[in-house]
Chain A
Amino acid sequence: MKRRRPRPAPRRRTTGPWTEAHVHRLFWRAGFGARPDEAAEWAKRGRAATLRWVLEGGPQGAALVGPAPSADGKPLDPVNEWAHDGLWWLDRMVRSQRPLVEKMTLFWHDHFATNDQDTPLMLRQNRTLRRHALGSFPKLLRALTLDPAMQLFLSLPNSDKDAPNENFARELMELFTLGVGYTERDIREAARALTGFRARWTDDGFGGIYYDRERHDRGFKRIFGQRGRFDWRDVLRLVVDHPRHAPFLTTKLWEFFVAGPPSRATVRRLSAVYRASGHRIEPVVAEILDHPALYRSLDAPDMVKSPIVFVAGSLRTNGLPVSAQSLTWLLDGMGQRPFDPPSVAGWDWGPAWMSSNSMRTRFDWGNRLIEDDLLGVKTGSTQPPASPAEALEQALAATGRPWISGVTRSHLLEMATRFFDDLGPRTRPQRRSERADMLQRSLRLILLAGPDAQLH
Chain B
Amino acid sequence: MRADHISVRASWGITAAAVAVAAGGCLPAGAGAAGTAVGVAEREFRISLYRATVAPGTVRFNVTNFGEDAHDLAVLTPRGRLLAISPEIRAGRRHTLTVRLRRPGAYRLVCTKLDHPARGMRATLRVRRPRR
Chain A residues close to B by CB (< 8 Å): 72, 74, 77, 79-82, 116-120, 201, 203-206
For A205, the chain B residues whose CB sits under 8 A away are: 41, 46-49, 123
For A118, the chain B residues whose CB sits under 8 A away are: 41, 48, 50, 66
Smallest CB-CB A-B distances: 4 pairs: A205-B48, A80-B37, A80-B39, A118-B41
Give Cα A203–Cα B41 distance, bound, in whole angstroms: 13
Contact with A along B37-61 (1 / 0, CB 8 A): 1110100001111111000000000
Report whether B51 and A204 are in contact in the complex, using a CB–CB cutoff of 8 Å.
Answer: no
B28 within 8 A of A: no
Report whether B39 and A79 are in contact in the complex, using a CB–CB cutoff of 8 Å.
Answer: yes
Number of chain B residues whose Cβ lies closer than 8 Å to a Cβ of chain A: 20
- Closest CB in chain B relative to A161 CB, distance in Å: 24
Give Cα A120–Cα B51 distance, bound, in whole angstroms: 10
- Closest B residue by C-beta to A123: B50
Report whether A119 and B94 are in contact in the complex, using a CB–CB cutoff of 8 Å.
Answer: no
- Closest A residue by C-beta to B61: A80
Give Cα A93–Cα B52 distance, bound, in whole angstroms: 30
Contact with A along B103-132 (1 / 0, CB 8 A): 000000000000000001011100000000
Chain B residues close to A by CB (< 8 Å): 33, 37-39, 41, 46-52, 62, 64, 66, 94, 120, 122-124
For B50, the chain A residues whose CB sits under 8 A away are: 79-80, 118-120
- Closest CB in chain A relative to B110 CB, distance in Å: 11
Report whether A80 and B46 are in contact in the complex, using a CB–CB cutoff of 8 Å.
Answer: no
Report whether B33 and A201 are in contact in the complex, using a CB–CB cutoff of 8 Å.
Answer: no
For B64, the chain A residues whose CB sits under 8 A away are: 82
Give Cα A59–Cα B66 distance, bound, in whole angstroms: 42
- Closest A residue by C-beta to B96: A82
Give Cα A290–Cα B124 distance, bound, in whole angstroms: 55
- Closest CB in chain B relative to A381 CB, distance in Å: 32
26 residue pairs A–B, Cβ–Cβ below 8 Å: A77-B37, A79-B50, A79-B51, A80-B50, A80-B62, A81-B33, A81-B39, A81-B62, A82-B62, A116-B66, A117-B66, A118-B41, A118-B48, A118-B50, A118-B66, A119-B50, A120-B39, A120-B50, A201-B120, A204-B49, A204-B52, A205-B41, A205-B47, A205-B48, A205-B49, A206-B46
Report whether B46 and A74 are in contact in the complex, using a CB–CB cutoff of 8 Å.
Answer: no
Give Cα A72–Cα B122 distance, bound, in whole angstroms: 33
- Closest CB in chain A relative to B47 CB, distance in Å: 7
Report whether B123 and A80 are in contact in the complex, using a CB–CB cutoff of 8 Å.
Answer: no
Please judge, given known A-B contacts A72-B33, A118-B50, whether A204 and B124 are in contact too, CB under 8 Å.
yes
Report whether B122 and A203 are in contact in the complex, using a CB–CB cutoff of 8 Å.
Answer: yes
- Closest CB in chain A relative to B35 CB, distance in Å: 11
Give Cα A116–Cα B123 distance, bound, in whole angstroms: 20
Give Cα A60–Cα B107 distance, bound, in whole angstroms: 45
- Closest CB in chain A relative to B46 CB, distance in Å: 6
Report whether A203 and B62 are in contact in the complex, using a CB–CB cutoff of 8 Å.
Answer: no
Give Cα A205–Cα B121 distance, bound, in whole angstroms: 9
Give Cα A117–Cα B42 distance, bound, in whole angstroms: 10
Give Cα A232–Cα B45 distance, bound, in whole angstroms: 28
For A79, the chain B residues whose CB sits under 8 A away are: 39, 50-51
- Closest CB in chain A relative to B62 CB, distance in Å: 5
- Closest A residue by C-beta to B46: A201
For A116, the chain B residues whose CB sits under 8 A away are: 66
Give Cα A74–Cα B60 distance, bound, in whole angstroms: 15
For A81, the chain B residues whose CB sits under 8 A away are: 33, 37, 39, 62
For A80, the chain B residues whose CB sits under 8 A away are: 37-39, 50-51, 62
- Closest B residue by C-beta to A72: B33
Q: Which of A80, A82, A116 has the most CB of B within 10 A?
A: A80
Other-chain contact of B39, A72, A74, A119, A201 (Cβ < 8 Å): A119
For A120, the chain B residues whose CB sits under 8 A away are: 39, 50
Report whether A203 and B123 are in contact in the complex, using a CB–CB cutoff of 8 Å.
Answer: yes
Give Cα A120–Cα B49 distance, bound, in whole angstroms: 10
- Closest CB in chain A relative to B1 CB, distance in Å: 27
- Closest CB in chain A relative to B60 CB, distance in Å: 8
Give Cα A375–Cα B36 distance, bound, in whole angstroms: 33
- Closest B residue by C-beta to A116: B66
For B33, the chain A residues whose CB sits under 8 A away are: 72, 74, 81
Give Cα A74–Cα B52 distance, bound, in whole angstroms: 22
- Closest B residue by C-beta to A199: B46
Give Cα A206–Cα B43 distance, bound, in whole angstroms: 12
For A201, the chain B residues whose CB sits under 8 A away are: 46, 120
Give Cα A116–Cα B43 distance, bound, in whole angstroms: 10
For A82, the chain B residues whose CB sits under 8 A away are: 39, 62, 64, 94
